[in-house]
Chain A
Amino acid sequence: DAKTTQPTSMDCAEGRAANLPCNHSTISGNEYVYWYRQIHSQGPQYIIHGLKNNETNEMASLIITEDRKSSTLILPHATLRDTAVYYCIVRVTGNQFYFGTGTSLTVIP
């Protein structure tokens, strides 16, 4: 069963912030939200994850709503190398990562 819903595709101008939304309305209290990206069919690359609080690292920021039913990944200054498919994943206990179909982000010069 799909655990997350994301837009199929998005465009973003180079240098602007890219805001990628994700809906996870059935998330449970102990489930983390992970974001990965996949460039040119390479192995997925970890970006960021969070449980309740907003998170920031050198790549991106993750904003999780208070009810935890949705989140937004923010790439603060998108570059052409950020063109990829971005997956929002809800991780359950154990080893079950549920990947959806992701959002194909195209960064436009």
Chain B
Amino acid sequence: NAGVTQTPKFQVLKTGQSMTLQCAQDMNHEYMSWYRQDPGMGLRLIHYSVGAGITDQGEVPNGYNVSRSTTEDFPLRLLSAAPSQTSVYFCASRRGRTSDTQYFGPGTRLTVL
């Protein structure tokens, strides 16, 4: 299993540009999440999904959209990038039972100029 994969690893955007961060998992996990981590901070939950076709907001959802058309994929869309969205983005998945652990991807480092 590849686990949780994320692309790209690095991205530089200009203010106002849009882009999609890709996340995929091959463990047949029901739950997937997106977090952002700012320098010196812990991770904050952006959006999450408890299954295909179901998404919900986390702590910091503004400026981001998600969709979950398949179990494997959970892309994160930035519609109009802002410098405040400069961060490292982590995708995570877990099987879905009460005490399941989360598996994290390697992260995408995004800079918005």
Interface residues, chain A, with chain B CB atoms under 8 Å away: 32, 34, 36, 41-46, 49, 51, 87, 93-102
Cβ–Cβ contact A41 & B104, under 8 A: no
Q: Is the interface of A mostly helix, strand, loop or mixed?
A: loop
**At the interface, yes or no: B12 with Cβ under 8 Å from chain A?**
no
Complex CA gap A105/B110 in Å reads 26
Asked if A96 meets B103 with Cβ closer than 8 Å, knowing A44-B90, A87-B42, A102-B42, the reply is: no
In terms of DSSP, what is the predominant structure of the interface of chain B? strand
- Number of B interface residues in the complex (CB < 8 A): 27
Q: With contacts defined as CB atoms under 8 Å apart, how many contacts are there between chain A and chain B in the complex?
A: 55
Near A by CB (< 8 A), chain B positions 56-113 give 56, 58, 88, 90, 92, 98-99, 101-107
Give A57 to B96 CA distance when docked, in angstroms.
21
Residues of B within 8 A of A102 (CB): 42
**Could you say which of A36, A46, A87, A97 contacts B45, with CB atoms under 8 Å apart?**
A97
